[in-house]
Structures are given as C-alpha cells and as structure tokens.
Amino acid sequence: MQDPLPIRPFTKPVRGSVTVPGSKSITNRALILAALADGETLLENCLFSEDTEIMVKALQDLGFEVTPDAEAKTISILGLGGDIPNKEAEIFVGNSGTSARFLTAFLCLSEGGQYRLDGVPQMRKRPIADLAQTLNQLGGQIETTDGFAPLTIKAQGLAGGKATIDASSSSQFVSALIMAAPYAEQGIQIELTDTSVRRSYIDMTLEMLVQFGIPKSNLAASETGYDIKPCPYYKAKPQGYQVEGDASAASYFFALPVAVTGELEVLGVTQNSLQGDIAFSSRMEEAGAYIEWTKSSAIVRYEPGAEPESLEGSFYPYSDTFLTAAAIAPLCQGTTKIEGIAHTRHQECDRVAAMADGLKRIGQSVEETEGSLSISPAPLKPATIATYHDHRVAMSFGVLACFDALGNGEPWLKIEDPSCCKKTFPDFFEVLESLRQQSENASSDA
C-alpha cells in the first residue's frame, strides 16, 4: 500500500452496501470466556486483525488449543474450566489494551503460575496500575514497572472479596475483573471510586457472561459498583457463538453518506447491539442523516444539497467514535464541540492532540482542552495527515478524504502509515475504494 496513501474522493453520492468486520471488543472478550469455559467453543464471524491475533497467540502460548480459520472467520478454542495449562510464559500484547487488561486478570486465576506480560513502547505508557492494585487486593501478586507494563504475575488463584477500583481511565479494568470473578473463591464485589466509568462496555461484558452460562442472579450492578458471585464454570458454545459486527467500525460508514451524500447499507450491525458505540448512529441523525434499521443492517441516507448540522456534547460513553465526528466537523454548519474525551489521550496515541493536529493541517480552527475539542469550519486545504500509528485517526480522516474538496475528483488528502488499520480493520482503505467504484458505476447505470 502506498505510504502516504492519497485518497481519491467520491464524485457521486455513495451507493451500495458494506459489511463491517466482526467486533474487536466482542471477539477478545469471547476468546477469554471460551478459554475459561469447560469444553470446546466455536466463535463465528470473528475479527481477524492485529489485536485479536495477539489474543489468540497469547492463549496458544499459555497452552490452550486454539484453531483460527481466517477464511471462514471462525476460531475454535478448547476451554479447561478455569485451568491455565502452562504455568510459566512470557506474553506479548503489542499495543492491544484489551489483551493486556483482560489477560492480567485471567492469569491471576492460575494455580501456581508465573508470567511476564509486556508490549510495544506505547503499551508501556498505557494505564494498568489501578487494575493491578485491585487484583492485589483480591489475592493476586502483580508487580508493575512504575505503574505500567511490563508486569510480572505470580498467580495463586484469586480469593476474591471486596475491592475498590478507579476505572475512569479505562472501563476495561472492570470488564477484566468481571470475567475473572466467577472463578474467584468468594466472587468479587467491586466498588467504583469514580462512578463516571463508561458503562456501555461493562454492560456488554455482563451480557456476554450470561450468554456463556452465568446466571443473571449471580450478577448485580449498581451506581457504585458490581457484585459477581462465584460460579463453577462458564458453559462452552460448541454449536457456535456469533460475534456481532463492529459498531466502532460502523461509525465510519454511518458518517460517509453525511460526508458525500447518498445511501449506504451497513451490514452486520443492529439497533439492539451489545456495543455502546452503536449510539453514534443517533449522532449522525442529529447531523441530518436518516437511518432505517433492518434485522441485520442499517440503511443510512443523506440528501444531496443539505449541509450537516454541527454536533455538540459528550462522547464519553462511545469515545472511540469521537474521532469520526471530529473528522467530518469541517463539513458541518457552525462549531462542533466534542467533550468527555480526556481519557483518550492515553490510548493508542494522544487522540485529542492527534485529531487537533490533523484538523489544523487542513486549515481548520481548533480549540483544544484536556478533555474537549472545538472545531470551527474553514476552507479545506490539501494536506498529509499524520496518524501517529493510530488506526482510528487513519480511518476517520479517510472518511473526510472522500469529500471532493477540490471539485475535480483529485485526491487532496494523504494518510500516513495507512497499514496501521491492521489493528482492527486491515482492508479498510480497500473497502472505501470499492465503495467509491460501486458508487461511480451505480451513477453511470442510472
């Protein structure tokens, strides 16, 4: 793939359909739950990307029988009812936050295991100290490196009981604890020291526990925390567990018709998705899109000649999508103000700073605070976008690049390091180009 990659814009309204890949969040949770289950589970419609392949490799390094089939989009895994076969291992998590956090709690369940968990330099800057401290309250023995990776884990199982956690920097801390909790001797009672945690991802985790056989009566949630009772084992899914389409990835295709007008069917997502990021669709409706839901898709329409309404408010519950909203802000009427995003400064990169940088490069007026961005539209200027190796920065600006800013169908925006999308959506730019060609052909045939 050319680097930097010039994006050829749409000269016709978008027409066609697109299938989003399986959800990264659900695939990695399902891998952990299947490994904890008793028996073989077949996961279907899995995401095959850098993050999920890291999780698969980690489980294989821990001795689990894991058989991925990328062509069929399936992963078979033989769970051992809470046992971890290999009692010593060095686990590499790259820059995968879900893998790092989920595996840290998972490894504490081992009886007599000793593990080292590390990642790339950026992973060593991502928060994990609060999770480690809470697991130590529950009987774990975890040593961090000044609060970050690499970690060493001396596992003797989890006694469980009561513990507090600050999960304001990542709801994944709570999800990690919840998935391990049924195997703790006393279960786990988690008290949140900051109740502003993003609950949509935790709700998804709780629902998946039920899908894997944990009785709802064992799971209690309140404003201040969670109480998970012990349970003998998760139930395997030999007949198959279907992974939903990725709602975060769908955000790009909810936004595309707003950027270029037209009609696009987004396959693989539903209005009652487990994933909180599906709420981004309502933000595109605020911008002026019309969305019709079917049993297995969303049809997004935006009429030619309309100018999108600017957006304002908190994106905290679905912050992975704030980048999509920020990227199309230059096309909107008036100032877009995005709030609730301070925690995203500590993700794959400093996402607030990265989006501000990209928007300034294309001539926009941007005001940046610790937890917000204000974007006032100005004439678009050709530029090359630095992605800071962040897949969501690349894909978000990829959507904006589809707008024909020069009015002649020539590329005006280039994306550096486009291959960073392999983290969650390896063929994103190929899919975008295919949609452009579909739309050109549909207009020619009309």
pLDDT band at residue 443 under the 50/70/90 scheme: low
Instruction: Say if residue 111 is exposed, middle or buried (CB neighbours under 10 Å; 0-12, 13-18, 19+).
Output: exposed
The Cα–Cα gap between 145 and 138 comes to 20
Average pLDDT over residues 425-432: 98
pLDDT band at residue 175 under the 50/70/90 scheme: very high
Structure tokens at 425: 């959506």
The predicted-structure confidence for 318-360, as pLDDT tens digits, reads as follows 999 999 999 999 999 999 999 999 999 999 999 999 999 999 9
Annotation-wise, does 171 bind a ligand?
Answer: yes
- What is the Cβ-side half-sphere exposure of residue 321, based on CA atoms within 13 angstroms? 27
What sign results for the dihedral spanned by CA atoms 41, 43, 48, 49? negative
Q: For residue 426, what pLDDT is reported?
A: 96
Annotation-wise, does 319 bind a ligand?
Answer: no
Average pLDDT over residues 252-261: 98
Nearest to residue 339, comparing CAs of 350, 325, 349?
A: 325
Whether residue 247 is predicted with pLDDT greater than 70 in this model: the reply is yes
Annotation-wise, does 422 bind a ligand?
Answer: no
Annotation-wise, does 97 bind a ligand?
Answer: yes
Q: What is the dihedral of CA 167, 168, 169, 175, to 10 degrees?
A: 40
Strands in 10-127 per DSSP E: 14-19, 37-44, 66-69, 74-80, 88-92, 111-118
Annotation-wise, does 172 bind a ligand?
Answer: yes
Q: For residue 20, what pLDDT is reported?
A: 97
Q: For residue 442, what pLDDT is reported?
A: 81
Structure tokens at 297: 């898709």
Q: Which residues are part of the catalytic machinery?
A: 320
Q: For residue 306, what pLDDT is reported?
A: 86
Pairing between β-strand 336-339 and β-strand 312-314 as defined by DSSP bridges: parallel
Nearest to residue 71, comparing CAs of 52, 34, 51, 46?
A: 46
Whether residue 446 is predicted with pLDDT greater than 60 in this model: the reply is no
All domains of the chain in start order, with CATH: 5-22+245-445 (3.65.10.10), 24-228 (3.65.10.10)
Q: For residue 233, what pLDDT is reported?
A: 74
Looking at residue 65, the DSSP 8-state letter turns out to be -
Whether residue 444 is predicted with pLDDT greater than 70 in this model: the reply is no
Distances (CA, A) of 246 to 155, 278, 284, 325, 416: 33, 9, 17, 17, 24
For residues 354 and 392, is the Cβ–Cβ distance under 8 A?
Answer: no
Whether residue 429 is predicted with pLDDT greater than 60 in this model: the reply is yes
Q: For residue 234, what pLDDT is reported?
A: 87
Annotation-wise, does 126 bind a ligand?
Answer: yes
Spell out a b/e string for 225-249, using b for 16 or more CB atoms within 10 Å of the CB, else e.
bbbbbebebbbbbeeebebbbbbbb
Annotation-wise, does 423 bind a ligand?
Answer: yes
For residues 406 and 412, is the Cβ–Cβ distance under 8 A?
Answer: yes
Nearest to residue 153, comparing CAs of 184, 119, 123, 108?
A: 108
Nearest to residue 236, comparing CAs of 28, 25, 36?
A: 36
Annotation-wise, does 99 bind a ligand?
Answer: no
Q: What three-state secondary structure class fits 101? A: helix
pLDDT band at residue 232 under the 50/70/90 scheme: confident
Is the whole-model pTM more than 0.85?
yes
For residues 264 and 253, is the Cβ–Cβ distance under 8 A?
Answer: yes
Annotation-wise, does 15 bind a ligand?
Answer: no
Average pLDDT over residues 409-425: 98
The predicted-structure confidence for 361-404, as pLDDT tens digits, reads as follows 999 999 999 999 999 999 999 999 999 999 999 999 999 999 99
Q: What is the dihedral of CA 313, 318, 320, 324, to 10 degrees?
A: -50
Q: For residue 315, what pLDDT is reported?
A: 97
For residues 280 and 256, is the Cβ–Cβ distance under 8 A?
Answer: no
The predicted-structure confidence for 270-292, as pLDDT tens digits, reads as follows 999 999 999 999 999 999 999 99
Q: What three-state secondary structure class fits 185? A: coil
Annotation-wise, does 29 bind a ligand?
Answer: yes
Annotation-wise, does 347 bind a ligand?
Answer: yes
The Cα–Cα gap between 418 and 400 comes to 15
